[in-house]
Structure formats: structure tokens, C-alpha cells
Amino acid sequence: MLKFYGYKRCSTSKKAQNWLDDHQIAYQYQDLVEKPPKQEELLKWLTDFQDRGLRYFFNTSGQVYRQMHLKDQINKMTLEEAAKSLSQNGKLIKRPLVTDGKKLACGFKEDIYEKTWL
């Protein structure tokens, strides 16, 4: 079953949930602001999918990202530092983050979801 890390007030999370529901794909929902993924989980994903780059996992258009001036720091971050930051503030995570343990998608693009989850 998919693990869906979303935010109830995020329109992109809602679009992704609707897509999964429309395709009858089961998932377990977790609010990533109330309960962000653990640092160890994030480190595993950052390591397993490091070919996508750290920016892929960050909500680069979010207020917290801008307030923390992460644009200037992200290129110097280690995977461990990135995992720690993301685990401490779920609003830094690009949402939704969806994984089945082997595959992972951040954000929502219908063509990516079709390739990844169908």
C-alpha cells in the first residue's frame, strides 16, 4: 500500500488524492505538517533517489523555505542535514510525497503518477 504524506490545506495534495481515488489506488494518509516523516526515512529516500537532487524533496515555493534562505544553502547541504531539516518541519517537504517503499514521487504531475503508480 502507498504511504501518502500530504497536507489537508494543500490543493496539490488534494489533486493527487483525487487522482489516486479515481484510479482506485489504496493509500495510507499522513499529514506531513502534523507528523513529518522520520529523519531516518527521509535519509533513506534522499540516498535512494539522490539522482533527483535535494531540491526535488523541498517545497521551494513555500514561505518557510524562503524565510530560512535555503535557496542559498541547499547546494552545500549534506544528505544528513537535508533529512534533519525536512524531518523537523514538514512544510519544507514538497507535497505530496508518495512512496510504496521502492518508488517515490514528490509533487503531483499526472503523467508521472501514471508511469509510477499504474
Q: What is the pLDDT of residues 82-92, one digit of tens each?
A: 999 999 999 99
Is beta strand 104-106 parallel, antiparallel or unpaired with respect to 97-99? antiparallel
The model's confidence at residue 46, banded by pLDDT at 50, 70 and 90, is very high
Per the prediction, the chain carries an average pLDDT of 97
Q: What is the pLDDT of residue 42?
A: 98
Beta bridge partners of 3: 28, 99
Give the contacts of 12 (CB within 8 A, at least 6 positions apart). Answer: 95, 96, 107, 108
The Cα-based distances of 69 to 2, 54, 64 in angstroms read: 32, 15, 8
